[in-house]
Each structure stands twice: as C-alpha cells, then as structure tokens.
Amino acid sequence: MGRCAFLFPGQASQYVGMARDLHGRYPSVRELFAQADACLGFSLSGVCFNGPEERLRQTAVTQPAVFVHGAAVWQLVAAAGVIPVAVAGHSLGEYVALVAAGALPLSDALDLVKARGRLMQQAGEERPGAMAAVIGLEDGRVEELCLQVQAEAGGEVVVPANYNAPGQVVVSGSPAGVERLGLLAREAGARKVTLLPVSGAFHSPLMQPAADRLREMLWQAGWQRPSVPVITNVAAAPVAEPDELRRQLVEQITHPVRWTESVQALSRTGVRLALELGPGSVLKGLVRRIDPELEVWSVGTVEELETSLDGIAKQV
C-alpha cells in the first residue's frame, strides 16, 4: 500500500488524553497499554488519558507514554498493510522507529525506554540543567555563541541539542550557561528564545551518567538488522549494523538530534509522503520548514488513522 516513510515524535509531544480514543476502539492498543502498565509498575494508561499534566511531564512517565502511543499507531498501520520505505524518530522516537524497522523487539524497546526515562530524570536531578529554543539564527551562529559562553564562563555547559529545522536550534546545558546563551542570542538578532519546560539538560554532556548506565542494557537487548533503512539522530544517515545502532543510542543521549539533516537524508531517498505516528504534529511542522515538498500526515487519533489509511489506499 503506497510508498511512504514513518516518522516518530519524541518528548514534548505528549498531552493529557493522548491515545484514549485508540484505546477505546482497538483491542491491540488495549493489550499494549496493559503490557506497558505491567512493565512500568504504574498505570501509564491512567496518566495518559486523565493526567495530571505535571505527572505526564515527568521524564520517567513522558518517555514511555510517547513510545507506547507511537508503537500503538504503528501496529495499527502495519496491520493495515502499510510498509515504510524508511523510518526515523526524533530523540525518544528513534526507539519506536527501530521497532518498526524490525531491529528491536517491542518488549525489549519498552524495557529500554523505561530505563532511559528513569535514568535521564535521575541525571537531571543529580545535575540540574535547562534547555531553550533559539529561533531565527543560523545553526553556525548558535554554535559559535555556545562556544563563546563556555569560554567566558569556566565550568558552564551549553551545547546545541536539537537541530530541529532551519532557524530553530534547541540548546541544552547548565541553567546559567543556557541563560547566558539566551542573552547573547537575542543580542545577535534571534527572533525568539524560549526556555523549555524540561527536567534536565537532554542531549548534553550533563546526561553522561544516564548514557553510561543505559549502555549495558542496550547490549543485552535482542537486536536484528533492520528490514528498512533507519535514519539515526547521531549520523543523520541510514544505519543497519546492530552494533552501530546500539552505540549510537548511547551517544544520542549526550549528542544533538540532527533532525534537519535526517529529513534531508530521507528526502534523498525519493519518498514524498511520511506518516508521523504518535501524539501531536510537531514533526509535521518541522518537516514543512525543512522540505516543503515532503508531505507529512499526522496519525495519532482514530480519525487521523482512518483518514490516512483511506488516503494511502487511493494512491495505490
């Protein structure tokens, strides 16, 4: 059915009520949430459907929530016979992408995501950090300003964390480092600098303890070569070797998400349609700015699923 890529969103796509309609309609979604509730030791479904929002925003909850929503939609799309020509996920979303590509069993990925969320939350508590979105400066200029802050303020950390789209870079680091970067970015002509509501300095060196602790678990998972290309955050290119995929998932925790380049790599495959599987439509907005010729359909609700499957069927 059709020819499309699968994209999977990451943290910050969550919202109270996510996946509730899918859970009510499809037995496979109910089974997956029951599996997740048992794995996590708390009612993920209850927090996803009913909140409170502060609880859903906790990293140890957010990451499994976004993973399970993405995996639930992927299972439904796959059951309808839609096979991707390539997959990519933004940060946490890379774990669902690896499941969709057949590189990781879903149960192993769920265990890894549970640990990843807990370890990243713990790292944020041990070394408090901050993140901010810088809008309206070129990537290279943001990189220069990060280096300037670190040179001026010994011991402060601030690095690019997400290259989300042209003119949109998220920085991550110590609270003082991110605050100083924001001041310099505004002076340099940034249109907007927005502090993000996160519990740690994700994709920065401050997350190294989480990367170290997750490494052993990644090597114990049941890996296979992916059946379709997986465009990774670290390489922004297709990666097929299981050992390399494992290594990059460790690196991903402390390295930037190269999303702009990842979408450009996807576009070079010739695909012109991508399905964003999971909560929200963040990736759709980013892709529109990176490559307007690559159409993205957001698929996170029953209505969006049915509309997308109808649209793909008409393309055949």
Looking at the annotation, which residues are catalytic? 91, 203
Residue 90 · residue 10 · CB < 8 Å: yes
Alpha-carbon distance of 46 to 221, in angstroms, equals: 28
Cβ neighbours for 48, distance < 8 A, ≥ 6 positions apart: 14, 16, 17, 18, 19, 20, 33, 56, 65, 68, 69
Alpha-carbon distance of 245 to 284, in angstroms, equals: 25
Residue 174 · residue 154 · CB < 8 Å: no
Alpha-carbon distance of 5 to 244, in angstroms, equals: 22
Give the strands of the sheet with 158-165, arranged side by side.
158-165, 168-173, 130-135, 192-195
3-state SS, residue 246: helix
